[in-house]
Amino acid sequence: MPHICFVTGTVYGIVDRETTYLIEALKRRGVQSSVEAWDDPSVDWSRYDLSVNRTTSNYMLDPRKYLDWARRAEKETVIWNPRGVLEWNYHKGYLLKLQKEGVPVPPTIMINQDSEEPLSRHLEGLDWGEFVVKPAVTAGSFGLRRYKDASPEAEAHFRRLNREGYVQVAPDGTEYHCPPCDTIVQEYQPEIEDAGESSLIYFGGAYSHAVIKKPKGGDFRCHPMWGADMKTHKATRGELKVAEAALDAVGEPTEYARIDILTTRRGPVIIEAELIEPNLFFDFFPQTVDSFAEHIVSSMAG
C-alpha cells in the first residue's frame, strides 16, 4: 500500500483543513497518509512513496536549509513539487524570468541583498508613481508595503528587508521574525483595489478551478489573512493563456500550482506563481479534493 506524506514545518506548522480533506480522501481510496515536518531531522523519508509540500511556509526563514532538505529527501522519496520547481519558485526573482520570457508581469526590478545604494537610486528613471516593495523570499504578503515615493519610511523599510531583517505582525498578533534577503520592487497596479486578483488552480498541469480575491476596503493585499473577500470565479481565456505561459516558463512539469493574475488596462498580468504550498481553495470546490486525491493515486500507480 502506498504511503503518502504531507509536509509541514516545525515552525508555523499546521495541519490545515485542506490537508485533512486530502487525508480523508486518500483513506477512502485505501491509501495511508501522514504529516511530517521538513525540518525535523528525525524523519525517515524513505518510509514514504510520495511527499507533498502542504504547509511549509517556514522555508522563508532559511531557504537554503529548505532546499538542502529537498536535495537529500528526493534521494529517498518522490517530492511534490519536484525539487527543480521548488528551486525555481522559492525566490520571487522568478518574476524577472517570466518578464524576460515575455510573460506579462507588473514592471519589476530586483535589488540584491548586498546593494549599498539607497532605494531612490534604484528607482531613478522609472516613472512609476506608486510602487510596492516586498521581500524576494516571503509568504502571506509578509513585508509587502506600498509607497508613493522614496520617502524616509520607504528607505527604512527597504533597508530592513535587504539588510536587517524585519518583524511581521499577523492579524492574530503573532510576531514573525524574518531574515533579510533580496528585494522586489514593482510598479503599483491600482486595478487591484477594485478588480482583485484571480487565482487559477492546476493539477498535473491541467486547469481545475479558480477563485477571485478582493482586498478589504483601504487595503491592497489580496490574501485571506488580511481580510480579502473570496468567491468562485470562471477563468477567462486571457487569464488561462497567461497562466499557462507562466507554467510553461517553469521548465519542468508541476503537479499542482496556483497562478495569481490581475487584469489591468493592459490585460492580464502575473502577480504570483505559487508552486510550493498553495492554498487550493477546496472549500469553494469540494469535488476538487477528489480530483487531487485521484491525481496522487494515479501517479503512484505509475
Q: What is the pLDDT of residues 86-124, one digit of tens each?
A: 999 999 999 999 999 999 999 999 999 989 999 999 999
Q: Is 93 helix (H, G, I), strand (E, B) or coil?
A: coil
Domain range for residue 25? 3-81+287-300
Q: Is 268 helix (H, G, I), strand (E, B) or coil?
A: strand
Provide the residue type at 145 as one letter: R
The region, left, alpha or beta by phi > 0 then psi within -120 to 50, assigned to residue 143 is left
pLDDT in the model for residue 224:
81
H or E, element range at 243: helix 237-250
Sign of CA dihedral 217, 221, 222, 227: negative
Tell me the C-alpha distance between 145 and 16, whole Å.
Answer: 27
Give the pairing of strands 183-187 and 131-135.
antiparallel
218 assigned to some structural domain: yes
pLDDT, mean over the chain: 93
Q: How far is CA 39 from the centre of its chain?
A: 19
Are 161 and 209 contained in the same domain? no
Assess whether pLDDT exceeds 80 at residue 262. Answer: yes
Assess whether pLDDT exceeds 80 at residue 7. Answer: yes
What is the value of pTM for the model shown? 0.95
Q: What is the mean pLDDT of residues 172-199?
A: 91
Are 196 and 269 contained in the same domain? yes
Tell me the C-alpha distance between 261 and 273, whole Å.
Answer: 9
227 closest CA partner among 240, 216, 211, 214: 216
Bridge-partner residues for 175, per DSSP? 169
Query: 41 near 89, Cβ under 8 Å?
Result: no
98 assigned to some structural domain: no
Query: 63 near 90, Cβ under 8 Å?
Result: yes
Q: How confident is the model at residue 274 (pLDDT cuts 50, 70, 90)?
A: very high
Are 197 and 260 contained in the same domain? yes
97 assigned to some structural domain: no
Query: What is the number of domains present in the chain?
Result: 3
CATH number for the domain that contains residue 168: 3.30.1490
State how far the alpha carbon of 259 is from the alpha carbons of 37, 167, 169, 240, 286, in Å: 25, 27, 26, 10, 19
Q: Which residues, in sequence order, are CB contacts of 104 under 8 Å at separation 6+?
A: 242, 266, 267, 268, 269, 270
215 assigned to some structural domain: yes
Are 207 and 158 contained in the same domain? no
Q: How confident is the model at residue 167 (pLDDT cuts 50, 70, 90)?
A: confident
pLDDT in the model for residue 302:
66
Q: What percent of the chain has pLDDT over 90?
A: 80
Min mean pLDDT across 191-195, 223-227, 247-251 is at 223-227
Q: Is 48 helix (H, G, I), strand (E, B) or coil?
A: coil
Q: What nine digits make up the cell of 77? A: 522519496
Tell me the C-alpha distance between 34 and 48, whole Å.
Answer: 9
Q: Answer with the residue of higher pLDDT: 122 or 222.
A: 122
267 assigned to some structural domain: yes
Min mean pLDDT across 22-31, 153-162, 166-175 is at 166-175
pLDDT in the model for residue 37:
96
Supply the DSSP symbol for 269.
E
Q: What nine digits make up the cell of 230? A: 473570496
Q: Is the peptide bond before 53 cis (omega within 30 degrees of 0)?
A: no
CA end-to-end span of the chain: 14
pLDDT in the model for residue 225:
77
